[in-house]
């Protein structure tokens, strides 16, 4: 049996293609931290870097997970670029109105300075505090918010963006180029706070919304470029797409992203096969709603055991939710997730 490792060593073993002592655990729990801190209105919490950091650290001390994913939702970059965002009382912020009403307006967009735009600066503050406090004990992923395709869809507005795609307007590439530059700058800023890794979510580019062919034309090239440019700076990237990403999983792996985040809809065996012979690690795919938020601890354990049995052999696997856990997720279900990795994820499996 391998020697017992600390969280950072454990995750780094996974990312380098080696076997850790056991399967590491990630908690995609930024909304849970708000609930744990007994926050009455999440709006103030998700605008306050110190509060978000305190919540992340408190959750880590409570659950002892290996990977902390520091963020405030899916609209920070969009807000920084001029999208109208609404902060909800008991949930994550959401984009509600685009930044541009025409592709003719792309040149009016400016690349935001993460240190100067309040929403980004507070997120960076949260990452920095977490890294300063426990960055030598836990693997910190400072989330770079949305990927190029997702950010572009928020800037243009989802309905109009889909219409632009259907028409095949070449100016979309101009918008995606801008979005890629914004993502890269924020990703580097997250790493400057001391994070071990950064990550993006690019869910609108998945097969649940657009075809694999359209993904390969409009989304893949920009994520690939982002990965390559960040790798040149020594920055590992995690890449998430919600929904059934199975038809594009080989493409996602071929971007070179260090971690591929999958959810419960993906075919686990196909995802494992896609990463065979690569150093790409898989993260997920436990259902955050039906299982973690609304299931029993026994349901969580069963889902975790299945995931470990399929995705764990040979390494390259981090157990966690397939997406963000609802604030209402019971503590005992989170405990079951952690314990499943400890009980069933010991190597050799």
Q: How many residues does the chain have?
A: 349
Distance of CA 167 to the CA centre of its chain: 30
Measured distance CA(287)–CA(191) in Å, rounded: 29
CB 258 within 8 A of CB 15: yes
Measured distance CA(138)–CA(157) in Å, rounded: 37
CB 208 within 8 A of CB 243: yes
What integer pLDDT is reported at residue 26 of this predicted model? Answer: 98
Structure tokens at 105: 């307006």
What integer pLDDT is reported at residue 3 of this predicted model? Answer: 81
Q: Which of 346, 323, 344 is nearest to 31 (CA)?
A: 323
| pLDDT tens column, 139-186 | 999 999 999 999 999 999 999 999 999 999 999 999 999 999 999 999
Structure tokens at 52: 């978000």
What integer pLDDT is reported at residue 349 of this predicted model? Answer: 93
Partners of 238 in beta bridges: 199, 259
Strands 84-86 and 94-97: antiparallel
What integer pLDDT is reported at residue 150 of this predicted model? Answer: 98
Low-confidence ranges of the chain (pLDDT < 70): 1-2
Q: Which of 46, 7, 43, 62 is nearest to 331 (CA)?
A: 62
CB 10 within 8 A of CB 19: no
What integer pLDDT is reported at residue 226 of this predicted model? Answer: 98
Helices (H), the chain: 7-15, 30-36, 42-45, 49-63, 76-80, 118-134, 148-156, 158-167, 171-192, 212-214, 220-232, 249-254, 268-275, 297-311, 331-344
**Phi and psi at residue 63, to the nearest 5°:** -105, -25
């Amino acid at each position: 049996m391998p020697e017992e490792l600390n969280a950072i060593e454990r995750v780094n073993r996974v990312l380098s293609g080696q076997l850790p002592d056991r399967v590491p655990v990630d908690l995609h729990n930024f909304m849970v931290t708000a609930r744990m801190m007994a926050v009455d209105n999440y709006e103030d919490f998700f605008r306050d870097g110190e509060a978000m950091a305190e919540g992340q650290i408190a959750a880590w001390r409570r659950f002892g997970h290996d990977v902390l994913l520091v963020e405030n939702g899916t609209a920070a970059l969009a807000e920084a670029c001029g999208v109208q965002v609404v902060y909800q009382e008991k949930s994550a912020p959401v984009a509600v109105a685009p930044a541009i009403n025409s592709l003719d307006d792309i040149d009016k967009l400016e690349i935001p300075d993460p240190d100067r735009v309040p929403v980004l600066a507070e997120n960076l503050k949260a990452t920095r505090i977490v890294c300063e406090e426990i960055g030598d004990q836990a693997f910190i992923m400072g989330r770079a918010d949305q990927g190029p395709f997702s950010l572009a869809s928020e800037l243009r507005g989802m309905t109009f963006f889909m219409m632009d795609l259907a028409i095949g307007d070449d100016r979309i590439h101009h918008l995606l180029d801008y979005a890629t530059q914004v993502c890269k700058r924020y990703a580097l800023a997250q790493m400057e706070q001391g994070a071990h890794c950064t990550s993006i979510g690019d869910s609108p580019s998945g097969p649940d919304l657009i075809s694999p062919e359209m993904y390969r034309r409009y989304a893949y090239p920009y994520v690939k470029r982002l990965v390559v440019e960040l790798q040149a700076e020594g920055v590992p990237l995690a890449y998430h797409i919600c929904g059934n990403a199975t038809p594009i999983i080989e493409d996602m792996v071929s971007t070179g992203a260090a971690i591929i985040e999958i959810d419960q809809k993906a075919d686990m065996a196909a995802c494992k096969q896609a990463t065979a012979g690569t150093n790409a690690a898989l993260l997920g795919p436990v259902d955050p709603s039906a299982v973690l938020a609304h299931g029993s601890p026994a349901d969580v354990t069963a889902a975790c055991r299945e995931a470990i049995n399929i995705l764990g052999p040979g390494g390259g696997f981090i157990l966690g939710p397939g997406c963000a856990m609802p604030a209402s997720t019971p503590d005992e279900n989170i405990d079951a997730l952690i314990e499943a990795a400890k009980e069933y994820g010991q190597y050799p499996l």
